[in-house]
Amino acid sequence: MRRIELADAAFLMAEKRETPMHVGGVGLYTLPKGVSAQEFVSALSLDDLGPDDFREPFGEYVTTGRAGPLGPMYWEKDKTIDIDYHVRHSALPSPGRYRELFALVSRLHSTLLDRNRPLWEMHLIEGLQNHQFAVYSKMHHAAIDGVASMQLTRSISSTDPNFRTSDLPMSMKAYERHLAAVGASRARRVVPEEKELRAVADILKQQFDSSAQILGALRRFGGAFFGRSGNLAVPWHNVPKTSINTRVDGARRFVAQSWEFDRVQAVCKAINGTVNDVVLAMCSGALRRYLEGHHELPKHSLKAMAPVSLREKGDFSAGNAVGFITADLATNIADPEKRLRTIQESMRAGKDLLKGLSRREAMLFMQLTQMPALLTSMLGLAAQFPAFSTVISNVPGPREQLYWNGARMDGIYPASIVFDGFAMNITLVSYARNLDFGIIACRRSLPEVQRMIDYLEDALVELEVVAGLRPGGAKKAAAKKPVSKKPTSKKRAATAKVKAKAKSKVKTKPRTKPKPKPKAKPKVKLAARRKVQPKQKTGKK
């Protein structure tokens, strides 16, 4: 047995039926000419795979020691692994659109992984139009993070369309071949040294102005964290309550879309920003529109957990090596340029916090500052005390065009996790010439989440206008505020009444200061004028 590290075990401890803690995604492929989906699947060699043919921990299941559920967790090798259970073949109903694909993925992503078996599933999905097929895979977050999942994709893919392999991405053969291809060896985890603990303690004391004995708190895996410095955003500080920050049930809704990387890169160059700055601004604009459409845009800005990779260069192990920065999304700012600059300042402050720390120190710091959020989730308090508003994760993926046994990979659309207090997760992968977005949300808490796709496009157009890339009419179109539903008859009547009143006031405003009149008379005169001048009442018609 191998003991499961604390950062990985936290995802197991936080899991329940309503909050599955697996991550995954959809790989979209175009089949080679003359090859059917059935022929492609039959070419995979699956029958002769045994427990020793899988890399850690994909041939292992979760178990506990002598202390039982209250003690540490371990990975135990599954000596009777059932490959037919883990690799499944599905077909979409006609007409085989992306809509049917996303509906199937939504259902598959809603079910828990069986802890009595290795924590992964792989679904080969045929029936798509345009000679395409999809692969939906899900793996427990205790076993893998975003960067490691991209390594799995690379392990069975090639830039050569003629390359062939019968291996699964979770197999030891694929893992060893990928290590050899990149000239790497297996990485080993290290334990932070005493001087590194002191460096983290100094950073925490400086940032959070705490008079407590920080070093002792770090060793006890606890402490208090309060945001008190400049543009730095921190968990729980001025985090507003919206429909995103509610309790969730087990049903999920998945939607996805791609945007050309060149469009985002052009905005980056024009504003002197990073891809992550523009992505966060896109998500901020989209979330602002979504909340406006549901009449719940809060006074305070939304805050996002923005995960950052802490994986050492050349580390190709499984497990998690990830921390986070709290990003102020500035959703309370209407001006898109000011909103973007506020986001940039927030991210800069978060990165400055980590300056001077080694990668190992940063990993320890990040993991410990996430513990309170995981604790509130396990105690069922995350919806009452949300640490963040949402999660926005940018995962670097392969920039080359990839093929799997001759099938061209057309997109990688990630599907992550949501839990109490975080009913929406936006994750994107940079692949080839696109940014592939995958949005997962609680089906009950956030209806019409598919509108986020349109709002992301609107937000990007808005940023292109700010950058001077869309002059004239494009600016006018980008400034239009979309709504999620048609206004009711009462709302239309109230709006028309307000507009007519404002129009009448403008038209009837005297040039000279009028004499004082009784309070009731202005209404009488206004009504009389409306009767005499009906054209002024109708407004723009």
Pairing of strands 132-140, 120-126: antiparallel
Contact between 393 and 307 under an 8 Å Cβ cutoff? The reply is: yes
User: Using the 8-state DSSP alphabet, how is residue 185 labeled?
Assistant: -
Question: What is d(CA 417, CA 141) in angstroms, rounded to the nearest whole number?
Answer: 9
Task: Count Cβ atoms within 10 A of the Cβ of residue 537 and give its class: 0-12 exposed, 13-18 middle, 19 or more buried.
Answer: middle
Return the beta strands (E) in 209-270 as ranges. 252-260
Contact between 77 and 51 under an 8 Å Cβ cutoff? The reply is: yes
Residues 246-255: b if buried by 16+ CB within 10 A, e if exposed: bbbeeebbbb
Indicate the SS3 state at residue 102. helix
Contact between 318 and 149 under an 8 Å Cβ cutoff? The reply is: no
Indicate the SS3 state at residue 103. helix
Contact between 170 and 183 under an 8 Å Cβ cutoff? The reply is: no
Question: What is d(CA 87, CA 204) in angstroms, rounded to the nearest whole number?
Answer: 46
Question: What is d(CA 146, CA 138) in angstroms, rounded to the nearest whole number?
Answer: 12
Q: What is the maximum span of the chain, computed from C-alpha positions, in angstroms?
A: 97
Is residue 86 part of the annotated active site? The answer reads: no
Q: Which of 384, 392, 516, 397 is nearest to 452 (CA)?
A: 392
Q: How far is CA 373 from the centre of its chain?
A: 17
Task: Count Cβ atoms within 10 A of the Cβ of residue 179 and give its class: 0-12 exposed, 13-18 middle, 19 or more buried.
Answer: middle
Active-site position among 141, 237, 294, 300: 141
Contact between 336 and 462 under an 8 Å Cβ cutoff? The reply is: yes
To the nearest 10°, the Cα dihedral for 145, 148, 154, 156?
A: -90
Residue with tokens 């929406």, as numbered in its chain: 424
Active-site positions? 141
